[in-house]
Amino acid sequence: MVFSFLDHREFLRRWYEWKKLSSRGFSYRSFAKKAGFSSMSFLRDVIEGRRNISEDSVEKFLGAIGLVEDAAVYFRELVKYNRETDDTKKAQSFRKLLLLQARREFSSVKLAQSRYYSDWIHVVLREVAPLERFEGNAKRMGESIRPALPTAQVQESLELLLELGMLEKAKDGSYRQTNARLIPGDQDAAIIRNAKRQMLLHALDRLDQGPPPDTLISSTTLAVSRHRAKKIAEQLRQFGLDLLADTVTDDGPVDQVVQINFQLIPFLCAPPDD
Protein backbone atom coordinates (compact mmCIF):
# COMPACT_ATOMS: atom_id res chain seq x y z
CA MET A 1 0.00 0.00 0.00
CA VAL A 2 2.74 2.49 0.96
CA PHE A 3 4.47 2.19 -2.44
CA SER A 4 1.65 4.03 -4.21
CA PHE A 5 2.16 7.22 -2.17
CA LEU A 6 4.52 10.18 -2.58
CA ASP A 7 3.25 11.98 0.53
CA HIS A 8 3.73 10.27 3.90
CA ARG A 9 0.94 12.32 5.50
CA GLU A 10 -1.57 11.13 2.91
CA PHE A 11 -0.38 7.55 3.36
CA LEU A 12 -0.86 7.83 7.14
CA ARG A 13 -4.31 9.34 6.65
CA ARG A 14 -5.41 6.48 4.41
CA TRP A 15 -3.80 3.89 6.69
CA TYR A 16 -5.55 5.33 9.74
CA GLU A 17 -8.93 5.28 7.97
CA TRP A 18 -8.40 1.64 6.94
CA LYS A 19 -7.20 0.64 10.42
CA LYS A 20 -10.16 2.39 12.04
CA LEU A 21 -12.58 0.37 9.91
CA SER A 22 -10.81 -2.97 10.23
CA SER A 23 -9.81 -2.89 13.92
CA ARG A 24 -12.43 -2.34 16.59
CA GLY A 25 -11.31 0.13 19.23
CA PHE A 26 -8.42 1.54 17.22
CA SER A 27 -7.81 5.26 17.77
CA TYR A 28 -5.14 7.95 17.78
CA ARG A 29 -4.71 7.19 21.48
CA SER A 30 -4.15 3.45 20.94
CA PHE A 31 -1.66 4.19 18.14
CA ALA A 32 0.32 6.54 20.38
CA LYS A 33 0.41 3.95 23.12
CA LYS A 34 1.65 1.22 20.75
CA ALA A 35 4.25 3.50 19.15
CA GLY A 36 5.47 4.87 22.48
CA PHE A 37 4.51 8.53 22.02
CA SER A 38 3.60 10.61 25.07
CA SER A 39 1.26 12.79 23.01
CA MET A 40 -2.00 10.94 22.39
CA SER A 41 -2.70 13.08 19.30
CA PHE A 42 0.74 12.74 17.68
CA LEU A 43 -0.49 10.77 14.66
CA ARG A 44 -3.34 13.21 14.01
CA ASP A 45 -0.97 16.17 14.32
CA VAL A 46 1.38 14.60 11.75
CA ILE A 47 -1.44 13.82 9.33
CA GLU A 48 -2.78 17.38 9.57
CA GLY A 49 0.67 18.92 9.14
CA ARG A 50 1.06 20.39 12.62
CA ARG A 51 4.00 18.16 13.52
CA ASN A 52 6.82 16.45 11.62
CA ILE A 53 8.30 12.98 11.97
CA SER A 54 11.86 13.03 13.28
CA GLU A 55 14.42 10.34 12.43
CA ASP A 56 13.84 8.72 15.82
CA SER A 57 10.08 8.87 15.42
CA VAL A 58 10.23 7.11 12.03
CA GLU A 59 11.27 3.87 13.69
CA LYS A 60 8.35 4.10 16.13
CA PHE A 61 5.95 4.61 13.23
CA LEU A 62 7.36 1.58 11.42
CA GLY A 63 6.85 -0.63 14.45
CA ALA A 64 3.33 0.59 15.14
CA ILE A 65 2.19 0.33 11.51
CA GLY A 66 3.99 -2.95 10.86
CA LEU A 67 6.09 -1.91 7.87
CA VAL A 68 9.12 -4.16 7.24
CA GLU A 69 11.82 -4.78 4.62
CA ASP A 70 11.34 -2.73 1.42
CA ALA A 71 8.14 -1.15 2.74
CA ALA A 72 10.04 0.16 5.77
CA VAL A 73 12.86 1.46 3.57
CA TYR A 74 10.29 3.18 1.34
CA PHE A 75 8.53 4.88 4.28
CA ARG A 76 11.84 6.16 5.69
CA GLU A 77 12.76 7.59 2.30
CA LEU A 78 9.26 9.01 1.82
CA VAL A 79 9.50 10.97 5.08
CA LYS A 80 12.96 12.18 4.07
CA TYR A 81 11.69 13.21 0.62
CA ASN A 82 8.76 15.19 2.03
CA ARG A 83 10.99 16.86 4.60
CA GLU A 84 13.84 17.80 2.21
CA THR A 85 14.10 21.44 1.08
CA ASP A 86 17.27 21.26 -1.02
CA ASP A 87 16.22 20.70 -4.66
CA THR A 88 19.19 18.47 -5.54
CA LYS A 89 18.78 16.25 -2.48
CA LYS A 90 15.02 16.12 -3.01
CA ALA A 91 15.55 14.92 -6.61
CA GLN A 92 17.95 12.23 -5.38
CA SER A 93 15.43 11.10 -2.79
CA PHE A 94 12.67 11.03 -5.41
CA ARG A 95 14.80 8.77 -7.61
CA LYS A 96 15.29 6.37 -4.69
CA LEU A 97 11.52 6.24 -4.24
CA LEU A 98 11.03 5.41 -7.92
CA LEU A 99 13.62 2.63 -7.71
CA LEU A 100 11.90 1.14 -4.68
CA GLN A 101 8.55 1.30 -6.50
CA ALA A 102 10.07 -0.41 -9.53
CA ARG A 103 11.38 -3.26 -7.38
CA ARG A 104 7.76 -4.25 -6.88
CA GLU A 105 7.89 -5.38 -10.51
CA PHE A 106 10.37 -8.16 -9.63
CA SER A 107 9.13 -11.75 -9.86
CA SER A 108 10.89 -14.84 -8.51
CA VAL A 109 11.54 -17.73 -10.88
CA LYS A 110 9.47 -20.65 -9.59
CA LEU A 111 10.93 -24.08 -8.93
CA ALA A 112 8.80 -25.47 -11.77
CA GLN A 113 10.56 -23.00 -14.08
CA SER A 114 14.11 -24.09 -13.19
CA ARG A 115 14.80 -25.20 -16.79
CA TYR A 116 15.00 -21.48 -17.58
CA TYR A 117 18.47 -21.45 -16.01
CA SER A 118 19.66 -24.63 -17.73
CA ASP A 119 21.04 -22.77 -20.76
CA TRP A 120 22.15 -19.17 -21.26
CA ILE A 121 20.13 -19.08 -24.48
CA HIS A 122 16.82 -19.11 -22.56
CA VAL A 123 17.92 -16.23 -20.34
CA VAL A 124 19.00 -14.12 -23.31
CA LEU A 125 16.04 -14.93 -25.55
CA ARG A 126 13.52 -13.94 -22.87
CA GLU A 127 14.97 -10.44 -23.28
CA VAL A 128 15.55 -10.60 -27.06
CA ALA A 129 12.21 -12.00 -28.23
CA PRO A 130 10.01 -8.99 -27.27
CA LEU A 131 12.21 -6.45 -29.12
CA GLU A 132 10.16 -4.79 -31.85
CA ARG A 133 12.82 -5.08 -34.55
CA PHE A 134 12.52 -8.90 -34.62
CA GLU A 135 8.71 -9.04 -34.95
CA GLY A 136 8.82 -12.57 -33.53
CA ASN A 137 11.17 -13.85 -36.26
CA ALA A 138 13.34 -16.63 -34.77
CA LYS A 139 15.79 -16.63 -37.69
CA ARG A 140 16.57 -12.92 -37.31
CA MET A 141 16.95 -13.33 -33.56
CA GLY A 142 19.49 -16.11 -33.98
CA GLU A 143 21.49 -14.16 -36.57
CA SER A 144 21.65 -11.07 -34.34
CA ILE A 145 22.80 -12.80 -31.15
CA ARG A 146 26.54 -13.03 -30.49
CA PRO A 147 27.56 -15.80 -31.04
CA ALA A 148 24.94 -16.53 -33.73
CA LEU A 149 22.46 -19.33 -33.03
CA PRO A 150 20.74 -21.77 -35.43
CA THR A 151 17.08 -20.98 -36.05
CA ALA A 152 16.02 -24.40 -34.77
CA GLN A 153 17.79 -23.81 -31.46
CA VAL A 154 16.16 -20.39 -31.09
CA GLN A 155 12.73 -21.83 -31.87
CA GLU A 156 13.22 -24.63 -29.33
CA SER A 157 14.14 -22.11 -26.65
CA LEU A 158 11.17 -19.88 -27.47
CA GLU A 159 8.83 -22.85 -27.15
CA LEU A 160 10.28 -23.64 -23.73
CA LEU A 161 9.83 -20.03 -22.59
CA LEU A 162 6.20 -20.16 -23.72
CA GLU A 163 5.71 -23.48 -21.93
CA LEU A 164 7.21 -22.07 -18.72
CA GLY A 165 4.95 -19.03 -18.92
CA MET A 166 7.83 -16.58 -19.25
CA LEU A 167 6.76 -15.34 -22.67
CA GLU A 168 3.40 -14.87 -24.33
CA LYS A 169 2.81 -14.91 -28.08
CA ALA A 170 0.41 -12.47 -29.73
CA LYS A 171 -1.75 -13.20 -32.77
CA ASP A 172 0.67 -11.27 -34.99
CA GLY A 173 3.52 -13.60 -33.93
CA SER A 174 5.29 -11.10 -31.66
CA TYR A 175 6.32 -11.94 -28.11
CA ARG A 176 5.90 -10.18 -24.78
CA GLN A 177 7.31 -10.89 -21.34
CA THR A 178 4.90 -11.99 -18.64
CA ASN A 179 7.06 -10.31 -15.98
CA ALA A 180 9.24 -7.22 -16.31
CA ARG A 181 12.17 -8.40 -14.17
CA LEU A 182 13.12 -11.83 -12.79
CA ILE A 183 15.18 -12.82 -9.75
CA PRO A 184 16.23 -16.41 -8.92
CA GLY A 185 14.09 -16.85 -5.82
CA ASP A 186 14.51 -20.26 -4.14
CA GLN A 187 16.23 -21.99 -7.05
CA ASP A 188 18.75 -24.75 -6.32
CA ALA A 189 22.17 -23.15 -5.76
CA ALA A 190 23.85 -25.57 -8.21
CA ILE A 191 21.49 -24.50 -11.01
CA ILE A 192 22.24 -20.81 -10.43
CA ARG A 193 25.98 -21.50 -10.27
CA ASN A 194 25.80 -23.24 -13.63
CA ALA A 195 23.91 -20.30 -15.16
CA LYS A 196 26.49 -17.84 -13.82
CA ARG A 197 29.33 -20.02 -15.10
CA GLN A 198 27.88 -19.92 -18.61
CA MET A 199 27.68 -16.13 -18.55
CA LEU A 200 31.24 -15.83 -17.22
CA LEU A 201 32.44 -18.02 -20.09
CA HIS A 202 30.94 -15.50 -22.51
CA ALA A 203 32.94 -12.77 -20.79
CA LEU A 204 36.12 -14.87 -21.12
CA ASP A 205 35.45 -15.43 -24.83
CA ARG A 206 35.09 -11.68 -25.39
CA LEU A 207 38.31 -11.09 -23.44
CA ASP A 208 40.21 -13.66 -25.55
CA GLN A 209 38.93 -12.15 -28.79
CA GLY A 210 39.64 -8.57 -27.72
CA PRO A 211 36.50 -6.81 -26.46
CA PRO A 212 34.64 -4.85 -29.18
CA PRO A 213 33.97 -1.13 -28.52
CA ASP A 214 30.54 -1.80 -27.01
CA THR A 215 31.86 -4.33 -24.46
CA LEU A 216 33.33 -3.21 -21.15
CA ILE A 217 35.46 -5.61 -19.10
CA SER A 218 37.34 -4.09 -16.17
CA SER A 219 38.62 -5.15 -12.75
CA THR A 220 40.08 -3.64 -9.60
CA THR A 221 42.30 -5.29 -6.98
CA LEU A 222 42.68 -3.72 -3.55
CA ALA A 223 43.35 -4.53 0.10
CA VAL A 224 40.43 -3.97 2.48
CA SER A 225 39.22 -4.98 5.93
CA ARG A 226 36.83 -7.90 6.32
CA HIS A 227 34.15 -5.41 7.34
CA ARG A 228 34.70 -3.36 4.18
CA ALA A 229 34.70 -6.50 1.99
CA LYS A 230 31.27 -7.44 3.35
CA LYS A 231 30.05 -3.91 2.72
CA ILE A 232 31.32 -4.01 -0.89
CA ALA A 233 29.52 -7.32 -1.45
CA GLU A 234 26.27 -5.79 -0.19
CA GLN A 235 26.81 -2.68 -2.33
CA LEU A 236 27.23 -4.87 -5.42
CA ARG A 237 24.07 -6.80 -4.55
CA GLN A 238 22.10 -3.59 -4.08
CA PHE A 239 23.52 -2.08 -7.27
CA GLY A 240 22.38 -5.13 -9.22
CA LEU A 241 18.85 -4.76 -7.83
CA ASP A 242 18.89 -1.03 -8.58
CA LEU A 243 19.87 -1.77 -12.19
CA LEU A 244 16.95 -4.17 -12.52
CA ALA A 245 14.59 -1.59 -11.04
CA ASP A 246 15.97 1.38 -12.94
CA THR A 247 15.53 -0.31 -16.31
CA VAL A 248 11.92 -1.31 -15.70
CA THR A 249 10.99 2.15 -16.96
CA ASP A 250 13.64 2.61 -19.66
CA ASP A 251 12.73 5.87 -21.42
CA GLY A 252 14.59 5.07 -24.65
CA PRO A 253 13.94 2.63 -27.49
CA VAL A 254 14.95 -0.81 -26.19
CA ASP A 255 17.16 -2.41 -28.84
CA GLN A 256 19.94 -4.20 -26.94
CA VAL A 257 20.33 -7.03 -24.41
CA VAL A 258 23.31 -6.93 -22.05
CA GLN A 259 24.77 -9.21 -19.37
CA ILE A 260 26.33 -7.44 -16.38
CA ASN A 261 28.60 -9.48 -14.11
CA PHE A 262 29.80 -8.53 -10.63
CA GLN A 263 32.50 -10.53 -8.87
CA LEU A 264 34.03 -10.06 -5.46
CA ILE A 265 36.77 -12.69 -5.10
CA PRO A 266 38.92 -12.84 -1.92
CA PHE A 267 42.48 -13.98 -2.67
CA LEU A 268 43.54 -14.62 0.95
CA CYS A 269 42.33 -17.23 3.40
CA ALA A 270 40.34 -15.51 6.14
CA PRO A 271 42.50 -14.84 9.22
CA PRO A 272 41.42 -16.46 12.51
CA ASP A 273 38.96 -14.48 14.58
CA ASP A 274 40.48 -12.43 17.37
Q: What is the pLDDT of residues 213-271, one digit of tens each?
A: 888 888 899 999 999 999 999 999 889 988 888 887 777 888 899 999 999 999 888 67
The pLDDT assigned to 274 comes to: 55
The pLDDT assigned to 272 comes to: 67
140: in domain: yes
User: Domain containing 19 — which CATH number?
Assistant: 1.10.260
Residue 74 contacts residue 82 (beta carbons within 8 Å): no
Domain limits at 202? 111-215
185: in domain: yes
CA dihedral 10, 16, 22, 23 (to 10 degrees): 170
Q: What is the pLDDT of residues 138-156, one digit of tens each?
A: 999 999 999 999 999 999 9
Q: Indicate the number of domains in the chain.
A: 2
User: Domain containing 187 — which CATH number?
Assistant: 1.10.10
- Give backbone dihedrals phi and psi of 65, rounded to 5 degrees, phi first: -80, -30
Examine the fold and report which residue of 199, 215, 231 is the final residue of a domain before the chain moves on.
215
What percent of the chain is predicted at pLDDT more than 90? 70
Q: Are residues 74 and 121 in the same domain?
A: no
Q: What is the pTM of this model?
A: 0.74
Interstrand relation of 167-169 and 175-177 (parallel, antiparallel or unpaired):
antiparallel
Q: Are residues 79 and 124 in the same domain?
A: no
Q: Are residues 142 and 205 in the same domain?
A: yes
Q: What is the pLDDT of residues 8-22, one digit of tens each?
A: 999 999 999 999 999
232: in domain: no
The pLDDT assigned to 61 comes to: 95
Residue 265 contacts residue 229 (beta carbons within 8 Å): no
192: in domain: yes
